Amino acid sequence: DMCTGPSAAEVKELTPEWYCNPAFLRNANRFKLGQSQDGEVLGDVILPPWAKGSPERFVEIMRAALESDIASASLPRWIDLIFGRKQQGPESVEAHNVFFYLTYYGSVDVASIEDEGLRRSTEDQIAHFGQCPMQLFWRPHVAKLGRDSVRRRTSLTYVRDLYGLDRRTGRG
Residues 53 and 110 placed together within one structural domain of the fold: no
CA 96 from chain center: how many Å?
19
- CB under 8 Å to 105, separation ≥6 — which residues? 131, 132, 133, 134, 135
For the chain, how many structural domains are there in total? 2
Run of H or E including 68: none
Residues 114 and 59 placed together within one structural domain of the fold: no
- Domain annotation covers residue 76: no
More confidently predicted of 7 and 56? 56
2, part of any domain: no
More confident residue, 11 or 129: 129
Q: Is residue 27 part of a domain?
A: yes
- For residue 123, give its domain range: 85-163
The answer to whether position 170 is within a domain reads no
Q: How far apart are CA 103 and CA 133, in angstroms?
A: 9
Q: Is the pLDDT of residue 154 over 90?
A: no
Q: What is the pLDDT of residue 5?
A: 56
- Does residue 155 have a pLDDT over 80? no
Q: Which of the listed ranges 66-70, 90-94, 154-158 does the model predict with the highest average pLDDT?
A: 90-94
Residues 61 and 96 in one domain: no
- Position 4 in a domain: no
Shared domain for 105 and 151, answered yes or no, is yes
Angle at 150 between CA 145 and CA 152, to 5 degrees: 80
The one-letter code for the residue type at 100 is F
**60 shares a domain with 124:** no
Same domain, residue pair 62 and 114: no
Is 90 found in the same domain as 59? no
Q: Are 53 and 47 in contact (CB under 8 A)?
A: yes
pLDDT digits (tens, 9 = 90+) for 79-132: 999 999 999 999 999 999 998 888 888 889 999 999 999 999 999 988 888 888
| Res 112: pLDDT | 95
CB count in 10 Å sphere of residue 91? 16
pLDDT at 7: 57
160-171 pLDDT per residue, tens:
777 778 776 666
**40 band by pLDDT with thresholds 50, 70 and 90:** very high
Please say if the pLDDT value at position 35 is more than 90.
Answer: yes
Specify if 73 maps to a domain: no
Same domain, 55 and 109: no
Q: Are residues 99 and 139 in the same domain?
A: yes
Residue 149: per-residue pLDDT: 36
Specify whether 59 is located in the same domain as 92: no
Cα 28 from Cα 9, distance rounded (Å): 32
pLDDT of residue 150: 36
Q: Which of 15-19, 46-50, 127-131 has the lowest mean pLDDT?
A: 127-131
Residue 131 domain flag: yes
Q: Is residue 100 situated within a structural domain?
A: yes
93 and 63 both lie in a single domain? no
Confidence of residue 172 (pLDDT cuts 50, 70, 90): low
